[in-house]
Amino acid sequence: MPQTRNSGILLLHSRLLQVGMGASISEPDHTLANLEPSQKTHRVIHDIATRQPLLDDPNISKDGTFNPFGSFPFTGSLRPKYPLGPKRIVPEHIDRPDYAKDVSGTPFSERSEAGKPVRILSEVEQEKMRTVCRLAREVLDIAASHIKPGVTTDEIDEIVHNETIKRNAYPSTLNYRTFPKSVCTSVNEVICHGIPDQRRLQEGDIVNIDVTLYYDKFHGDLNETYPVGRVDDDSKKLMRAARESLDQAIKLCKPGALFRDLGKTIEPVARAAGCSVVRDYCGHGIHELFHSSPNVPHYANNRAVGTMKPGMCFTIEPMLNFGTKFDLMHWPDDWTAATSNGKRSAQFEETLLITETGVEVLTAGKRRTDLYDD
């Protein structure tokens, strides 16, 4: 999929912005040559997820799982474990965003709003954001409580999915530009957009769980990185730096603050911890649209435009890589972004609302002692 590094709508999913921009095809020709780009990607993911590997395939495991990208030059030790589980079902009574119903997963509403000024939410809309963000926090905390060695990321996806529909909400990632799962799970060197699969979490891993819910026409988005059992000191340092960089950025948020200034606070925190800040993905506006303006970069000397005003709602979600390399590479699934040097990455995200006097963290959770206290 083509990479769009300077889009104002969606640097969070920058590699996928230019995918699926054509009209939906009601009766598609299923030959790859006649499919739109996003439909090709959907077919590729589907074929990978459902194919049966040859018995003599060196990438097949004794338990029947397999690595579908065996010849790919992975940068770290992590490998995908397929087949993926089937697409999870959302009951018909649950309201869903436009892309959930489209074969290409195209968020047409986002495309129609591209280039428009940042939305100022009414009091009624702000209250809806508070509600969906509270629900999203509940789901993330429940999913996090199940993290332990031996649990698969697909099992975490099932938990997130079930807890989401229990709240009569839709898991926003499901079918977003054909993403096949209800949550993103990013382990160790995976920066973001990891696809839940059959790999079991191991003692010493770190895992990011990125949850977004759609409820009453609005999206709420947050993520955190967690240790799996006991982790090494570098992983602790990385996670704490990622959390601190977000906390320091939030302190700047108030009416009149410039979006471009957030990176000036985030990057020094990262460097002091021996980390670098990912530049390919950024925070974003959020409300009735999953992703919209403003664009919120996390690195210093960026060119983001815009001033914070009461009623604006957006995410800040710095991704920190251990070491000096901020660049990345993508796995052949066209979603999973991993560090170029194979070292670990950590991320934290909150959805924020600018108020008349400052900022409200709509997705705020309980203070984690592993991130703050010795």
Show me where the domains of the chain are located: 108-361
Task: Give residues with Cβ within 8 angstroms of 243, minimum separation 6.
Answer: 348, 368, 371, 372
- List, as residue ranges, the binding site for a divalent metal cation: 210, 221, 284, 317, 349
Number of helical H runs and strand E runs in the chain? 7, 15
pLDDT at 109: 95
Tokens (6 digits) for 4: 């769009």
Q: Give the H/E segment covering residue 126.
A: helix 123-144
pLDDT at 291: 98
Residues of the chain with pLDDT under 70: 1-58, 374
- List, as residue ranges, the binding site for substrate: 193, 291
- CB burial readout 237-250, b (16+ within 10 A) else e: ebbbbbbbbbbbbb
pLDDT at 44: 55
- List, as residue ranges, the binding site: 193, 210, 221, 284, 291, 317, 349
* CATH number attached to the domain at 108-361: 3.90.230.10
Residue 161 CA to residue 174 CA, distance in Å, equals 9
pLDDT at 213: 98
pLDDT at 54: 53
Q: Please give the model's pTM, rounded to 2 decimal places.
A: 0.86
pLDDT at 373: 75
Q: Of 292, 294, 141, 156, give the one whose Cα is nearest residue 218.
A: 292
pLDDT at 61: 84
